[in-house]
Amino acid sequence: MPFEIPESYRTYRNDTAVRTAVDHLLDSADNNKLNLPADIEWKDLPGFHRAVLAAHQVRSDYSIFLIDLWNAIWPPTLRKNGFHWAANKPANPTESSVKLDTHSVWKNKYLWCYFDVSDGQFGFEGLESGVVMIDDRYVQLGIGIWPEDGLELSDAATKFGESWKMPDEQGWYYTHDDIGCIQDDGTIDLAPLHQAATSFLAAVGSLVQG
């Protein structure tokens, strides 16, 4: 089940010169300092603007890639395990540090989606699932889940499977890097990621059901 990263981002990832140029153009544009080179000729002006457009294309393609990756894993896996929750709107992800605009996704290298479980369904108050890019070489799954009082999620931690690390200090769970490795041809095998997400949610479901 291969999942391809965008061609524009693949070039950025593999070509140092392209990466340097894209980073410079985007950083300059973000800081309102995208000035024409002092020695640019008229004949080179269209090429300059095409380069600016291409740089923004890389960033947009990257954001869409993470959205598509999240959509390919989390919604179907949640439904498969009986978690039929509606996601918060993208402009209201709940966490103030989570922003889903193109600039923020590119800068932070992650995409998160929050599910508000206001009725306490399954004994939870909320769940947040995400995808994270690590050093342009790996994709991680991440999940944060907040049980209601009296439900100890730690009781299920040993059942999440070997694909998952122990939670960090904030209680977030992440998969090990090696299950989401980006291959040389720019593809990711989604099967291990699907399996990891399924094992996590199945363990949580079994805990709730007793």
180: nearest Cα among 93, 72, 83, 98: 72
Domain boundaries, the chain: 2-209
Contacts of 101 (CB under 8 A, 6+ apart): none
DSSP one-letter string for 85-101: -PBPPTT--SSTT---S
Rounded to whole angstroms, how far apart are CA atoms 145 and 127?
A: 4
What is the per-residue pLDDT across 141-175, written as a single tens digit (0 to 9) for each? 998 877 666 556 655 566 788 899 887 877 788 99
What is the per-residue pLDDT across 36-49, written as a single tens digit (0 to 9) for each? 999 999 999 999 99
Question: What residues form DSSP beta bridges with 142?
Answer: 130, 174
Residue 119 has pLDDT above 60, yes or no: no
Rounded to whole angstroms, how far apart are CA atoms 19 and 112?
A: 25
Residue 101 has pLDDT above 70, yes or no: yes
Residue 116 has pLDDT above 80, yes or no: no
CB-count exposure of residue 187 (10 Å: 0-12, 13-18, 19+): middle
pLDDT recorded at residue 183: 92
pLDDT recorded at residue 98: 74
| Structure confidence at residue 205 as a pLDDT band (50, 70, 90) | confident
Indicate the pTM of the whole model.
0.88
Per the prediction, the chain carries an average pLDDT of 85
Distance of CA 180 to CAs 3, 111, 140, 175, 200, Å? Answer: 11, 15, 6, 8, 16
What is the per-residue pLDDT across 38-78, written as a single tens digit (0 to 9) for each? 999 999 999 999 999 999 999 999 999 999 999 999 989 98
